[in-house]
Amino acid sequence: MTPKKQKPEWAPVNPDESFASNVVGGVEGGHDGMSRNSDSINANAAQARKSLNTEDYVKGVLNGDRTILGRAITLVESNAQIHKEQAREVLKQLLPHTGNSIRMGISGVPGSGKSTFIESLGIYLIEKGFRVAVLAIDPSSSIKKGSILGDKTRMEKLSRNQNSFIRPSPSGGTLGGVAGKTRETMLVCEAAGYDVLLIETVGIGQSEITVRSMVDFFLLMQIAGAGDELQGIKKGVMEIADAVLINKADGDNKSRAEAAKQDFAMALHYQEPATEGWEARVQTCSALTGGGIAEIWDMVEEFQKVTNASGVFGRRRRLQARDWMNSLVQEQLKNLFLHDPEVEKVMRKMEDDVMAGNIPPAAAADYLLKLFENSLKK
């Protein structure tokens, strides 16, 4: 008999055919918060189907219930108006329980071993007594709009640990390759008791700039022997890194990694620090063997200690919160503009006229904005 498929708890509300992930029976329990007892599994399934009120979400998250944590993140990510209102209330009640983590952004070129590194670092941190949440952003197809969301598969060992939580989310085309609600997701995970947040980006273009705006410590991963390392040094992303990590420093590649370390260290020496009072460093490691992982975390802890003492740590977080508020205001204004009935009536004609060369883009934009302004006054 073919096992019945169902959508995972982190699936979008009413997903269309582009969302391909399914949960099927036949996998033994004992990981990701699931019990080996079939009755408990059925109870969890029933809970997943049950509607939750705001109090259920808040209580479940604060109690560290991973099923409700996943559902709370789904609620936060939803674009449905009714969900937005409930999500705001949930976040408001969770806010006093947030802020007690170190937020670490990890980015780098494809093939640099981000997932392998995160798994090695996560396991090391759990052994030291931390609880680790990984927010992995997968690129969405620009054509089909779907995402693979395969980070749990790549981090198999970490995903089975009770003190870890891995949440893959689609970028959904968001500028910077970071899921639109990643900041809110971070707060939910902090409220659930995770004291180390690792945010992995898709590593394309503006993703590094975006993740820099939401984390305390930004780590840029590079690999040696893949071409001219100086090309990587030229990129502006080096200017926002608190540390550069040369991964895959093992076997025959170890000497090349050490040489690359010297090149990047020289480049960083002539750049302004990304964080006031902290000089960016270059480290090597082997995520495969675990070599250098402990030294990297020692550096992160030193960074936290130095920036806390100077006040930079808290000031950065306050500025990030302010900037995020402003971004949300801009996003909401854009949505109001695009869905204004008066604007919708003429938007297509304006677009056609601009493409046909009948009206300059600036004039069309001024006309639409004036129309929107008048609509708000009514």
213 and 156 inside one domain: yes
SS3 label, residue 116: helix
239 and 214 inside one domain: yes
Position 2 in a domain: no
| Residue where a domain terminates, one of 277, 309, 341 | 309
In this structure, the number of other CB atoms found within 10 A of the CB of residue 18 comes to 14
124 and 265 inside one domain: yes
Position 209 in a domain: yes
**What's residue 8's pLDDT?**
65
Position 84 in a domain: no
Position 51 in a domain: no
| Residue where a domain terminates, one of 284, 309, 334 | 309
293 and 331 inside one domain: no
Question: Rounded to whole angstroms, what are the CA distances from 215 to 73, 185, 202, 241, 318?
Answer: 18, 13, 16, 11, 12
* CB distance 103 to 233 below 8 Å: no
Q: Which two tokens stand for residue 73?
A: 């993140």
Position 160 in a domain: yes
**What's residue 110's pLDDT?**
76
125 and 217 inside one domain: yes
**What's residue 10's pLDDT?**
56
Position 142 in a domain: yes
301 and 363 inside one domain: no
Radius of gyration, alpha carbons of the chain? 23
175 and 281 inside one domain: yes
Position 73 in a domain: no
Count of the separate structural domains present in the chain: 2
Put residue 227 in one of left, alpha, beta given phi > 0 → left and psi -120 to 50 → alpha. Answer: left
Position 72 in a domain: no
**Domain housing 364:** 320-377
205 and 300 inside one domain: yes
CATH number at residue 293: 3.40.50.300
Over its length of 378 residues, how does the chain's per-residue pLDDT go in tens digits?
A: 555 566 665 566 666 665 566 666 654 544 444 444 545 445 555 454 578 999 999 999 999 999 999 999 999 988 788 898 999 999 999 999 999 999 999 988 778 888 899 999 999 999 999 999 999 876 543 333 333 344 556 688 898 899 999 998 765 544 433 456 889 999 999 999 999 999 988 655 556 777 888 999 999 988 886 554 445 554 567 888 999 999 999 988 899 999 989 888 888 888 888 999 999 999 999 999 999 999 999 999 999 999 999 999 999 999 999 998 998 899 889 989 999 999 999 999 999 999 999 999 999 999 999 999 998 887
258 and 118 inside one domain: yes
Indicate the pTM of the whole model.
0.79
Q: What 8-state DSSP symbol labels residue 282?
A: E
Cα(165)–Cα(160) distance, integer angstroms: 9
| Residue where a domain terminates, one of 280, 309, 338 | 309
Question: Rounded to whole angstroms, what are the CA distances from 35 to 31, 38, 70, 88, 345?
Answer: 7, 7, 16, 31, 54
Q: Which two tokens stand for residue 368?
A: 């639409």
Instruction: Dump strand ranges (E) for the chain.
Output: 102-108, 132-138, 164-170, 196-200, 217-223, 243-247, 281-284
350 and 260 inside one domain: no
237 and 104 inside one domain: yes
CATH number at residue 366: 1.10.287
134 and 191 inside one domain: yes
